[in-house]
Amino acid sequence: MNAKLRVAVVGAGYWGPNLARNFSTSQEWSLAAICDLDRDRAQSLADRVGRVDVHTDLDELLARDDIDAVAVATPARTHHPVVLAALRAGKHVLVEKPLADSRDRALEMVREAASRGLILMADHTYCYTPAVLKIRQLIAEGALGDLLFIDSVRINLGLIQPDVDVLWDLAPHDLSIIDFVVPGGLRPATVSAQGADPLGAGRACVGYLTFPLPNGAIAHVHVNWLSPTKIRRMVIGGTVRTLVWDDLNPQQRLSVYDRGVDLDQQSVDEVDRRSSTISYRLGDTWSPALPEHEALGLMATEFATSIWEKRPARTDGEAGLRVLSVLEAATRSLEHAGTMCGVEAYESLAGVSR
């Protein structure tokens, strides 16, 4: 585990430079090459991160036996062929969200990686931020109690995408976070989606997702390209405490409230419970201290560690597949006026729990 792994970044557009910068400064990785169809763009990035090799031909890159892994930062529609080619060349793969442009293609990628004993990792960057790692820890140790609800809002005056609606563009962030922090991951049986296209853009610009969580809890995700105000907030309510994550408040990203509703359950009889006394608990509020580090740096470390330890990454291909399963069910729900639609189940190939 002392020798650095060698990685190539495929795609030098919007996200590729962020990946290249973090791999080039990582203690676990040596950035070996940049691959992009645009040679000038690839060369410009290569010069900025240390004058690494440049390729414009993916097959030529994958034929190199001195590269252990590739990080894919190309458009979603290209993920399937690029990732399959890399896996079949014996490379471990990190791929930008979404894992693929369809669940079936993602499933083929996950199965290919499993059959070859290779790591396929989804770049769910938010899951490596200090705030989300702390949320996961608090839920796991029972600080919030049993989960009652999750409300997530991600709105701003954003760029209307030419090929996907607002749910496919923004909701993967929220879904990947919920998958990461909820014990057992994102496994709803059904989902309901509503959307609106008030501009006539040809796709939903405002969207709402609702789906059940275990033990009668519920999750709601609101995404919007048309809001003049920017909000990035998630509220997670539990039987003991409620947590609020405000990603746009650097002074206090997390707040934990010892406040809530208590139901006197002295009787186990359901009829009696309905007439039980409801009381409101008012307690202290506190803000956990969070370390300062870049999420992509932690993600690069996790990618390397999963390869060395031969175990699934925390945000593995199956995590990306779970997110895609919810998105495809949401699309079916939109097509049927918000009807609850089933989410296709998937049995893990890893044989281990998260």
**Burial group, residue 153, by CB count within 10 angstroms (0-12, 13-18, 19+):** middle
Beta strands in 97-225 (DSSP E): 120-123, 147-157, 190-196, 206-212, 218-224
Supply the DSSP symbol for 49: T
Query: In the predicted model, what is the mean pLDDT of residues 103-117?
Result: 96
Query: In the predicted model, what is the mean pLDDT of residues 240-269?
Result: 82
Write out the residue limits of the CATH 3.30.360.10 domain(s) in the chain.
127-286
CA torsion 74→133→212→146, rounded to 10°?
Answer: 170
CB 150 within 8 A of CB 319: no
With bands split at pLDDT 50, 70 and 90, how would you rate the model's confidence at 63?
A: very high
Query: In the predicted model, what is the mean pLDDT of residues 283-311?
Result: 93
- The Cα–Cα gap between 325 and 258 comes to 35
The domain defined by 5-123+295-314 carries CATH number 3.40.50.720: yes
With bands split at pLDDT 50, 70 and 90, how would you rate the model's confidence at 350?
A: low
- The Cα–Cα gap between 242 and 237 comes to 4
The domain defined by 127-286 carries CATH number 3.40.50.2000: no
Write out the residue limits of the CATH 3.40.50.720 domain(s) in the chain.
5-123+295-314
With bands split at pLDDT 50, 70 and 90, how would you rate the model's confidence at 267?
A: very low
Query: In the predicted model, what is the mean pLDDT of residues 141-145?
Result: 95
With bands split at pLDDT 50, 70 and 90, how would you rate the model's confidence at 2?
A: low
What phi and psi, each to the nearest 5 degrees, are found at residue 261? -110, 130
pTM score, two decimals?
Answer: 0.90
